[in-house]
Amino acid sequence: MIKVAIVDDNSFLIKAVAEKLSFFEDISIKFTAHDGNDAIEKLKKNSVLDLILMDIEMPKLNGIEATKIIKNQFPQIKIIMLTVFDNDENIFNAIKAGADGYLLKEVNPKDLHQGIIETLNGGAIMTPSIALKTLKLFRNPVDFDNSNYDEEIKLSTREIEVLEQLSKGLKYNSIAENLFLSPGTIRKHVENIYIKLKVHNKLEAIQKAKNNNLI
């Protein structure tokens, strides 16, 4: 029996992943966690685990930082990033943190199961589009740690409005009400903001936006 954990701040997406895995009798979900800190605390209590499906964008401790910590403390546990983010910096940082694979959340049940099997057998599973980006990164290396971010960052008027609301500490539901939008639309705007700003969480987004005089 393969012991798996799912780490994601979205309860709906946790259920969706669990449902995909429910088709396979050799998979057992040992626990779910809603952020990196939660996952680490649960691992300290019981680290008998084969593999973690790790989201990237999460509060308190994002998936990339959590991966780095878990790989240091529990190197035997495999980690597959399971995310909507496929930008170059996330891929680079996830691999650097020790991720064993990188799949997009749209992956179908069969490919997800196969990816878990291949990873546990020593492979490095990746969504084809991610594999292509990874090859390009190796062919044309970018030093993300020392990249020059002085390039002009362009956010839409609506994205700036969402950022301003975030900087006030408001939750997605409150922002949605204030801007007469749905919480799902707000979440999508936030995802786009993170990609454009090349950040992993709300605090980084707010700080970078302030540094670039966007808010």
pLDDT tens string for the chain (215 positions)? Answer: 999 999 999 999 999 999 999 999 999 999 999 999 999 999 999 899 999 999 998 888 999 999 999 999 999 999 999 988 667 778 888 888 999 999 988 899 999 999 999 999 999 888 887 888 777 776 776 555 554 444 567 889 999 999 999 999 999 999 999 999 999 999 999 999 998 888 888 888 888 888 788 88
Question: What would the 3-class secondary structure string for the chain be?
Answer: CEEEEEECCCHHHHHHHHHHHCCCCCEEEEEEECCHHHHHHHHHHCCCCCEEEECCCCCCCCHHHHHHHHHHHCCCCEEEEEECCCCHHHHHHHHHHCCCEEEECCCCHHHHHHHHHHHHCCCCCECHHHHHHHHHHHHCCCCHHHCCCCCCCCCCHHHHHHHHHHHCCCCHHHHHHHHCCCHHHHHHHHHHHHHHHCCCCHHHHHHHHHHCCCC
pTM score > 0.85 for this model?
A: no
